[in-house]
Structure 1
Amino acid sequence: MVRNTILILLLLLPTLSVRAQEKIKGDRNVTIVETEVNSFKKIALYEKFDIVLIEGTQASVEIETDENLHDVIEFSVIDSVLSFKTNAKIVSSKKMEIKVRYTKDLQEIELKDDAEISALTSLDIDNFFLKTYDNSRAYLNIKSSDFKFIGNGKSKSRLNIESSMTNLELNDNTHLEALLVTDSTKVSSYMRSKAVVEGSSKNLELNAISSSEFMGKNFTVNTCQLTIEDSCDATLNVTDQISINATGNSDVFLYGTGKITMERFTDSASLQKKEF
């Protein structure tokens, strides 16, 4: 049985190698093709695609590229998920622009590899979930009653968020730049992630672990609950009250006039009061 399996794999290797080497160049004759698709709740980009979002009443995909490349880009809606893939490696193109028209059904976007997504206008969605992985990029303005973001790998995102509740989770080396106007904000940052945040929030719950960095000098919050461990840095601007639980080699830089409550402060953790 093992020998048969090995033999099958050896027979498949040449086929897989040929497919992996398939390449195509654009013919420089640019055309536009728009295709209506079923409404979708999620967009999943797992390859090097650059997508621009446009709100509409009918979901569709519009591709402007070299004429011979249209057949290389495949897309489909399966189980309410719009996904894209290529059946050959595009070496060059005169133009490559993909616009996706979404409807009110959209709830989630997931990016992997080198995928990039942006929007011409703000995404006005009640409950919205954004996930980024690898080297993906997201540049979005979002209005939502409940917004959740999870960043992984070396992904980078630049977000403008207006929301009642905002939940941000940053992992690995992910980098987030955000302008937030929210009532309640929860941030969990891990493993060398970095967040640069501006704006305002009535309440902030920040958990920083494992060499992560949170820069919120220009992020004004009324109240804050801070838990910080290991070698993390947190820069905060609190107007009313902050409770601090700090351990390890963590550093807290505090702006504002908020009352400070030390729940726990051990090891070589430090607190520096700063002035603007």
Structure 2
Amino acid sequence: MKTSILLTALLFCISFGHAGNKNIKGNGNMTSITRSTSDYDAIACAGQFDYILVAGTEGKITLEGESNLLEYIITEVKDNKLVIRTENNINLKPSNNKPVRITIPFKDISKVSLSGSGDLWNKDVITATNFEVALSGSGDIVLNIQASYTEGKIAGSGDLTLKGNTNKLDAKVAGSGDFHGFDLQANHTDVAVAGSGDAEVVCHESLKARVAGSGDIKYRGQPKTEDTKVAGSGSISN
């Protein structure tokens, strides 16, 4: 009896949760709007949109997409971080070949994150002393950077690609995602993979590499010092 009651309650909660979500289908009419915000030094994006980072005056965000969808996209700055997301309990359904595209200008940024199934890339190089990038979900990030210290983190099945130069790289993969760093020149590299994901890195001076699970780490370069450990069926190779 208790089991039956619990199952009924669970099904009710699931049904109620789905009923609370509102699906908005695109009307096919493409438009472009510009929104103003205060300055920011970090960018946090969520959803299934395309995000393009360009050098420019911070606070002038351009949204392109179907006219009845853009009003449900929130653009706000909290604690010097630009947050872009869909309103709570709203599911946007763009028409085929009519994606929502959001262009974000930047001057000085130190952190970029993407959650969901969207794509994010930059047209202009990001220059920073310390730079962090985090990807969660099934989305993809491709960034060209110049930084003294770089941290790249993946949680989920997405792909993170970094290009450019850094002195110190910390790369972490949790899940089935992949870290592509063969085009990121790094002197000192610390890389860890937990799960079935893969990581590709460059290290010219030192390497610390850890694998837990079935993932693989591949590295390029001839580091003077190497510290590698594998727990599971994964591998570390040069």
8 Å Cα contact 1:206-1:224 kept in structure 2: no
Pairwise mapping of residues 1-276 of structure 1 onto structure 2 (< 5 A)? 17-20=18-21, 22-87=22-87, 88-93=90-95, 94-104=98-108, 106-178=109-181, 179-197=183-201, 199=202, 201-216=204-219, 219-230=220-231, 231-236=233-238
Q: CA deviation at 1:89?
A: 2.1
Q: CA deviation at 1:95?
A: 4.5
| Cα displacement string for residues 118-150 of structure 1 (whole angstroms, at most 9, x for unaligned residues) | 111221122101111121211111110111111
Counterpart of 1:136, as a letter, is G
**3-state SS of the aligned residue for 2:117?**
coil
Q: Unaligned 5+ residue runs, structure 2? A: 1-11
- Paired with 1:13 and 1:182, the residues of 2 have a C-alpha distance of 47
* Structure of higher CA gyration radius: 1
Where relative contact order (Cα < 8 A, 6+ residues apart) is larger, the structure is 2
- Relative to structure 1, the CA distance from residue 76 to residue 220 in structure 2 (aligned partners, 3 Å threshold; closer, same or farther) is same
- Paired with 1:209 and 1:40, the residues of 2 have a C-alpha distance of 36
| Cα displacement string for residues 133-173 of structure 1 (whole angstroms, at most 9, x for unaligned residues) | 12121111111011111111212112113011111112222
Q: Unaligned 5+ residue runs, structure 1? A: 1-10, 237-276
2:9 alignment counterpart: none
- Paired with 1:132 and 1:17, the residues of 2 have a C-alpha distance of 26
- Relative to structure 1, the CA distance from residue 77 to residue 187 in structure 2 (aligned partners, 3 Å threshold; closer, same or farther) is same
TM-score by length of 1: 0.73
**3-state SS of the aligned residue for 1:38?**
coil
Q: CA deviation at 1:82?
A: 1.4
- Relative to structure 1, the CA distance from residue 98 to residue 215 in structure 2 (aligned partners, 3 Å threshold; closer, same or farther) is same
Counterpart of 2:225, as a letter, is C
Residues matched between the structures, number: 223
Q: CA deviation at 1:233?
A: 1.0
1:272 alignment counterpart: none
When the two chains are superposed, the root-mean-square deviation of aligned CA atoms in Å is 2.5
Aligned residues with identical type, % of pairs: 19
8 Å Cα contact 1:135-1:155 kept in structure 2: yes
**3-state SS of the aligned residue for 1:68?**
coil
